[in-house]
A = this chain, B = another copy of it.
Amino acid sequence: MTRTSSSTETPTPGVPPARGVPEATVARLPLYLRALTALVERGVATVSSEELATSAGVNSAKLRKDLSYLGSYGTRGVGYEVDFLRHQISREIGLTQDWAVVIVGIGNLGHALANYGGFASRGFRIAALVDADPKRTGEKVAGLEVRHTDELEQLINDLDIHIGVVATPARAAQPVCDRLVAAGVTSILNFAPAIVQVPEGVDLRKVDLSTELQILAYHEQRKNGAALALTAEQAAELAEAVNG
């Protein structure tokens, strides 16, 4: 993915600093952006790494190191200018342009996503809604008409869509992703609980509800008296271990 070192290619010009920002840092930039936006709304002009770190829920050293990958945007003895820093992070992430997004699968979740206001306010524009069910086509959702899957490639092309959101049943996820990629989409956010393969150069992220719940359950099981979680079989195993 981070194949910036090609012999003939220039080292990614156009987006000035940007060289090799660690993935862990990239994942936190949206967090900082959100905290900064809240500060702007409260009318705060300057913020120290300590304050910003607290409101973003991270360690202040980590915050400073993260920001240092973008450049030296702070002033020693003072802190960071809120609005300026926000702009820099925004630019780094690529939120100065707006991204056209297609949502595939307009069921329960697809409806919620389409109606969600949090996209537009963050630089993402839902450009198309697509479903395979003819009964859904034509339906208006959040001011957009649901189109049939047959039109997927056409829409991606016409509307210059680079980002796809998949909210179909798990079974359909791989074929849908294949079509998205073939049509030119290079970033996919997948909500379906399926393992999807995509070619090199395509970014795939997944939001997996049941995985999250299962991780919680794992820890939960180890908290409030593990004895409560004893099944008959487990109790037998335990007894055997203790007696043997």
- Interface set of A (CB-CB < 8 Å, partner B): 1, 4, 12-16, 18, 26-27, 29-31, 33-35, 55-57, 91-97, 99, 101, 108-109, 111-113, 115-116, 118-119, 122-124, 162-163, 186-189, 193, 195, 197, 201, 203, 205, 207-224, 226-227, 229-231, 234, 237-238, 241
Contact = CB atoms under 8 A, between A and B. Distances in A.
B222 A18 contact: yes
Contact of A31 (B33, B109, B211): B211
A220 B238 CA distance: 52
Given A57-B195, A108-B111, A189-B212, A218 B31 contact: no
**How many copies of this chain does one complex carry?**
2
A83 to B, nearest CB: 14
Given A214-B33, A219-B203, A227 B93 contact: no
Rank and list the top 8 A-B pairs by shortest CB-CB distance, nearest first.
Answer: A94-B221, A14-B226, A187-B216, A30-B214, A112-B112, A30-B211, A108-B112, A94-B217
Contact of A13 (B197, B220, B227): B227
Contacts of A234: 14-16, 91
Contacts of A26: 215, 218-219
A15 B222 CA distance: 8
A218 B91 CA distance: 9
Given A1-B219, A163-B220, A214 B116 contact: no
8 contacts: A1-B219, A16-B238, A26-B219, A29-B214, A31-B211, A92-B218, A93-B214, A111-B112
A203 to B, nearest CB: 5
Given A13-B226, A93-B217, A108-B112, 4 more contacts: A91-B231, A95-B217, A189-B213, A201-B223
Nearest to A167: B112
